[in-house]
Amino acid sequence: MGTVSVFMLECFVVALAFFINLVIGCFISALVMYGIFFAKRKWIRYLCSIIIIVILLCCMLQIFAFIVGSDVAMLIGLIISALELFIGYKIAQRYHRKKSRNTNTETSGAANGNVTNIETIEPETTSMRDRIYCIHCGTENEKVANFCGKCGKKILD
């Protein structure tokens, strides 16, 4: 009876460590992914790329090398690291969209519904014929573009 409870306790501790590592890994990868994809400076992007690779792979491989053999640890660690990267990217992407929506609604007339056609505000010139404005964020795009370069939403003619 005593050995079963010790085994159950060990399983619980391992599962708890795995869950905590997954949550912390997703949070760290969200922060670093935000730096990779949405930072203005390139050196921040490169630094965040190196950090995410080193931290996630080392943490996951170390924990699984302790629990199981090293061959299985490599495979499981890579799968879970990829899962953490994906979840972190989605969190960073959602935060970036939410942040850009909050800042763009005050500046663009089309975003808050005050202006239905931006081309009626300014006289049309030859250079403006090649441009179209996004109704979601107000960014100027090329006329041939189907999606906005800033927010990524479909541009309606």
Q: How many Cβ atoms from other residues are within 10 Å of residue 137's Cβ?
A: 22
Shared-domain flag, residues 83 and 139: no
Shared-domain flag, residues 113 and 147: yes
Shared-domain flag, residues 17 and 66: yes
Q: pLDDT by residue for the chain (157 residues), tens digit each? A: 456 677 777 777 777 777 777 777 777 767 776 777 777 777 777 777 777 777 666 666 666 666 666 666 666 666 777 777 777 777 777 777 776 666 554 444 454 455 444 444 455 554 555 677 787 787 887 777 778 888 888 876 5
Shared-domain flag, residues 102 and 113: no
Shared-domain flag, residues 73 and 34: yes
d(CA 145, CA 154): 9
Range of the domain at 50: 2-107
Residue where a domain terminates, one of 75, 92, 107: 107
Task: Please give the model's pTM, rounded to 2 decimal places.
Answer: 0.38
Domain count, the chain: 2
Helix (H) or strand (E) holding 133: strand 131-133
Helix (H) or strand (E) holding 142: strand 140-142
For residues 65 and 73, is the Cβ–Cβ distance under 8 A? Answer: yes
**Closest to 58 in 3D by CA, of 48, 66, 68:** 66
Q: Output DSSP code: residue 117.
A: -
Shared-domain flag, residues 20 and 77: yes
Shared-domain flag, residues 113 and 103: no
Shared-domain flag, residues 43 and 92: yes
Which residues, at least 6 apart from 145, have a Cβ–Cβ distance to it below 8 Å? 132, 155
Shared-domain flag, residues 59 and 115: no
Strands 131-133 and 140-142: antiparallel
Residue where a domain terminates, one of 107, 124, 149: 107
Shared-domain flag, residues 132 and 154: yes
Shared-domain flag, residues 69 and 102: yes
